[in-house]
Amino acid sequence: MRTPAELDDVDALVLPGGESTTMSRLLQVFGLEAPLRERLAGGMPTLSTCAGLILMSREVLDGRPDQIALGILDVSVRRNGYGRQVESFEADIPVVPLGVAPFRAVFIRAPLIEQAGADAEVIASFGSNPVAVAQGPHIGLCFHPEMTDDSRLHQLFLDRAAAALEVSAA
C-alpha cells in the first residue's frame, strides 16, 4: 500500500518491524498519515510489531522531533529499549489470550514499553515490562512473532479483526 486510495481497500493492517523513523517519514512522503489516522480512528484492526508498535504508540520517548506517534495504543515506548542488534534475544513468555503454552518471543532491537495506560490491556510481559498489549481491535507487540513457526498470535489478530469487522458491518 503506497497511496491513500489503496488504503481504502484495506480491511485490516499489519504494521511490521523495520525502522520506525523511516516508516514515519514514508507515511508523510506518500500522504498516508492523515488517511491512516482516519481509518485507525474508525476502528480498522491492526497488528503492530516492533517498529509498528512504536508508530502506533501515544508517545515515543526517544524519537526524532518529527517522528509520528499515531496515538492509537495507550503506551509510551523507548526505541531499542532492550538494546542494539547484538543484544537481540529470544524468550518464552506467557500470552494471556493464548492459554498455558508459552510463546517464543524474538526480540530484535525491540522497543520497551515504559508505560501502558489504562486503555491498553497488557496481554504479555517479560519480567516486569509489558511486551504485548491489546486495545480495541489493535494488538501491539515488542517482538517479532513472524520469526517463529507459532501462528497463534497471528490467529488471535485474525479472530479479533474478524470480530471487529462484523461489529462495524452491523
Nearest to 123 by CA among 140, 107, 104, 110: 140
Q: Which three cell numbers stand for residue 91?
A: 524468550
146 is a catalytic site residue: yes
144 is a catalytic site residue: yes
Q: Which of 19, 33, 59, 146 is catalytic?
A: 146
Amino acid identity for residue 35 in this structure: P
Instruction: Give the residue carrying C-alpha cell 520497551.
Output: 112
Q: How far is CA 73 from the centre of its chain?
A: 8
Q: Are 110 and 84 in contact (CB under 8 A)?
A: no
Q: Which of 50, 59, 87, 154 is catalytic?
A: 50
Q: Which of 33, 144, 154, 166 is catalytic?
A: 144
Q: Are 28 and 68 in contact (CB under 8 A)?
A: yes
**Residues marked as catalytic:** 50, 144, 146
